[in-house]
Structure 1
């Protein structure tokens, strides 16, 4: 009688255990994805391109960020020279930065 009850409880117990393990794997992968999104230079899935730059407020950018034509994207540099390199681009348009005016 007791063995019959144990055999009857075995499938639900295994199901609960398998569900817990699967949920734990999903949570671990989600945590890894969140960590990679916060720190894109530390990506476990791919090698970092030396032309990539992380800029606060913008994110991951490839190419020369001082060019006005830069797309400010991690996937494409610009419409003129999307694959790069930026060093030899004939359409380079430098950006001028005016210093902020401070009122005294």
Structure 2
């Protein structure tokens, strides 16, 4: 294994199938997006797989559970984290995965429920 790369299995959640095995030089988090072979996927879950070597557990690979999704066009930076939609709206979920409860698909600028904080 290269020093700065993580062996990663990318698994589509529905239908459940492995999309591929790749090496990443960054640590993916749920809510991040990943491009593979011209398609964009939202990362839903990350699982670590360890192996016992010389009496110590070492990270062997990670598994990413993803779903096909377009990259969001609306994002806001809140406390160093990117969230979907306009974080100044009262109904914004402040989440990387969900925009809000009243208009989860967006966009925020045309939402009739938009209320500025």
Higher helix share: 1
TM-score (norm 1): 0.48
Q: Using CA pairs below 8 Å that are at least 6 residues apart, which structure has the higher relative contact order?
A: 2
Higher strand share: 2
